[in-house]
């Protein structure tokens, strides 16, 4: 069976209404099997047929209990065909939602806590149910999908109803990297009035192909105008009320910060004053920290030294690498930003000073920083490989050739190589690499499990 990818925003297919299932045949059974496999593979709790390209009214739902959320009851696998909500409760609950079709974006949404629905099962039998709590929320989310409504639409509507002052608020968004692009996408989904500034596209990779910044790519994907700049100090800045900065490689001068009618804020991926500077995420992994977080600060003349508006904390998983932790922090940063917005623009948010005595400043990592020192502990090397997986990548040498080590794990405090890449070659599994290797065994082989 061919694997189907999840369709993501802004693909217009997601806004098309689906049609009722009329034939309960083998084709439908195959579709349902495919939906179940996709749901399990992607780690979601619900999947609507149009999320993988089908145009009929089928939903698959399953929630398996895990260690992180043991308080949430599991929901056994169930298929809902031609589902229809016939009654909503007046009581509503607020809960954070995400979606496979809008990856890395989460918003709090108010929905009725109890429903009455009717639907058909895989044999076409008509069923009535009165789901409540989490199941009721998941069903509303997925039935919205079948009606061409993505969860960010009610989130946008509810946000604008609660915060009508944002309708005319001019926001200057300044950012470049992946962390910033996730936050930008969330602000686009909320329908905010954005002027987007990002750094100029630069040559990247071995072929030196000109590549847009992730922020520019996100703006382009959602058909939003953006301005690429070489030097922000030499740029004519449009009038703005609020400046939001995230993951931007240049210092913004006071002459621009002071133009904000409300505030100039920065979203920083650490619990300041810890890990100021350019590499807080990598540094937290390198040092084996158990927790990190997000800080929203008032921008000051010195980078990352401004007073703190708000902070939020998250655990660092033993399996986190730079990109997984970066993305989770961006999701957390977006949620914190949305919660911070109302008191911020209404001047009801208190500022807390940073304790500079507790501050630490991170460094810019260069390619040579990726060279593995095999004299270090196995745990330290394993953390380096996770921290540097995106950049600068961890490497060693074998038979006088550079060997990038993309992924490892530990067994009884011993390093087990999982994925490696010899210079000039494609990534491969370690055992596969060994089968084709005929050169001498370097000293560092003593450090790993063969």
Give me the CATH number covering residue 371: 3.10.25.10
Stretch (H or E) spanning 160: helix 152-162
Residues 169 and 268 in one domain: yes
Question: What's the total number of domains in the chain?
Answer: 3
Tell me how far apart the alpha carbons of residues 397 and 402 are, in angstroms, rounded to a whole number.
5
User: Does 5 map to a domain?
Assistant: no
Three-state DSSP class for 435? Answer: helix
User: Does 3 map to a domain?
Assistant: no
CB 193 within 8 A of CB 170: yes
Residues 292 and 183 in one domain: yes
Tell me how far apart the alpha carbons of residues 365 and 344 are, in angstroms, rounded to a whole number.
34
Residues 340 and 436 in one domain: no
pTM of the model: 0.94
User: Does 253 map to a domain?
Assistant: yes
Distances (CA, A) of 125 to 26, 58, 118, 262: 16, 14, 11, 58
Check which CATH number belongs to the domain holding 352 and give it.
Answer: 3.40.50.170
Residues 240 and 260 in one domain: yes
Which residue among 306, 332, 358 closes a domain?
358
User: Does 105 map to a domain?
Assistant: yes
Residues 174 and 49 in one domain: no
Tell me how far apart the alpha carbons of residues 10 and 102 are, in angstroms, rounded to a whole number.
9
User: Does 291 map to a domain?
Assistant: yes
Q: What DSSP character marks residue 274?
A: T
Residues 310 and 374 in one domain: no
Residues 431 and 304 in one domain: no
Scan for tokens 């009722």, then name that residue.
20
User: Does 6 map to a domain?
Assistant: no
Which residue among 97, 122, 157 closes a domain?
157
Residues 168 and 152 in one domain: no
Q: Which of 302, 304, 270, 303 is nearest to 287 (CA)?
A: 270
CB 281 within 8 A of CB 322: yes
Residues 38 and 151 in one domain: yes
Residue 323: give the domain boundaries: 163-358
Residues 115 and 222 in one domain: no
**pLDDT tens for each residue of the chain, 450 residues long:** 567 899 999 999 999 999 999 999 999 999 999 999 999 999 999 999 999 999 999 999 999 876 555 667 889 999 999 999 999 999 999 999 999 999 999 999 999 999 999 999 999 999 999 999 999 999 999 999 999 999 999 999 999 999 999 999 999 999 999 999 999 999 999 999 999 999 998 877 667 788 999 999 999 999 999 999 999 999 999 999 999 999 999 999 999 999 999 999 999 999 999 999 999 999 999 999 999 999 999 999 999 999 999 999 999 999 999 999 999 999 999 999 999 999 999 989 999 999 999 999 999 999 999 999 999 999 999 999 999 999 999 999 999 999 999 999 999 989 999 999 999 999 999 999 999 999 999 999 999 998
Residues 170 and 149 in one domain: no
Cis amide bond preceding 371, omega within 30: no
Which residue among 125, 157, 189 closes a domain?
157
User: Does 219 map to a domain?
Assistant: yes
Cβ within 8 Å of residue 99, ≥6 positions away: 105, 141, 150, 151, 152
Residues 190 and 138 in one domain: no
Distances (CA, A) of 416 to 190, 413, 431, 434, 446: 45, 9, 10, 13, 11
Q: What DSSP character marks residue 56?
A: B
Cβ within 8 Å of residue 49, ≥6 positions away: 18, 31, 35, 55, 56, 57, 58, 59, 146
How far from each other are the two terminal CA atoms of the chain, in whole angstroms? 36
Helices 178-189 and 214-221 cross at an angle (nearest 10°) of 20
Cβ within 8 Å of residue 194, ≥6 positions away: 171, 172, 173, 184, 187, 188, 224
User: Does 2 map to a domain?
Assistant: no
């Amino acid at each position: 069976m061919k694997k189907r990818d999840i369709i993501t925003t802004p693909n217009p297919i997601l806004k098309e209404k689906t049609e009722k299932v009329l034939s309960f045949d083998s084709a439908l059974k195959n579709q349902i099997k495919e939906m179940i496999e996709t749901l399990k593979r992607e780690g979601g709790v619900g999947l609507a047929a149009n999320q993988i390209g089908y145009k009929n009214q089928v939903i698959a739902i399953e929630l398996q209990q895990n260690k992180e959320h043991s308080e949430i009851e599991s929901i056994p696998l169930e298929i809902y065909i031609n589902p229809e909500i016939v009654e909503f409760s007046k009581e509503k609950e607020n809960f954070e939602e995400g979606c496979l079709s809008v990856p890395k974006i989460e918003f709090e949404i108010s929905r009725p806590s109890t429903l009455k629905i009717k639907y058909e099962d895989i044999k076409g039998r008509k069923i009535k149910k009165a789901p409540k709590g989490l199941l009721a929320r998941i069903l509303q989310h997925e039935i919205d999908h079948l009606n061409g409504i993505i969860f960010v639409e009610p989130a946008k509507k509810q946000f604008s109803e609660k915060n009508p002052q944002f309708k005319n608020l001019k926001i200057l968004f300044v950012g470049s990297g992946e962390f910033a692009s996730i936050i930008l996408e969330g602000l686009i989904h909320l329908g905010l009035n954005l002027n987007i500034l990002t750094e100029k596209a630069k040559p990247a990779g071995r072929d030196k192909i000109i590549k847009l910044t992730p922020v520019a790519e996100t703006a382009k994907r959602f058909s939003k105008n953006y301005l690429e700049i070489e030097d922000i100090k030499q740029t004519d800045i449009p009038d703005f009320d609020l400046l939001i900065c995230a993951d931007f490689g240049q210092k913004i001068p006071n002459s621009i910060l002071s133009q904000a009618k409300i505030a100039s804020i920065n979203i920083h991926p650490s619990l300041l004053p810890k890990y100021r500077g350019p590499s807080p995420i990598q540094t937290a992994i390198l040092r084996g920290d158990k927790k990190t977080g997000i800080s929203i600060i008032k921008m000051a003349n010195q980078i990352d030294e401004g007073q703190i508006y708000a902070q939020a904390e998250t655990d660092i998983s033993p399996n986190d690498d730079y990109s997984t932790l970066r993305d989770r922090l961006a999701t957390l940063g977006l949620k914190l930003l949305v919660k911070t917005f109302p008191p911020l623009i209404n001047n009801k948010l208190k500022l807390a000073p940073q304790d500079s005595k507790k501050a630490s400043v991170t460094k810019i990592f260069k390619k040579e920083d990726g060279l593995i020192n095999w004299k270090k502990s196995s745990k330290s090397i394993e953390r380096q490989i996770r921290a540097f997986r995106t950049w600068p990548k961890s490497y060693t040498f074998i038979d006088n050739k550079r060997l990038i080590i993309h992924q490892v794990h530990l067994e009884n405090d011993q390093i087990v190589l999982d994925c490696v890449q010899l210079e000039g070659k494609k990534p491969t599994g370690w055992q596969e690499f060994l089968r084709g290797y005929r050169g001498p065994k370097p000293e560092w082989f003593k450090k790993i499990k063969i």
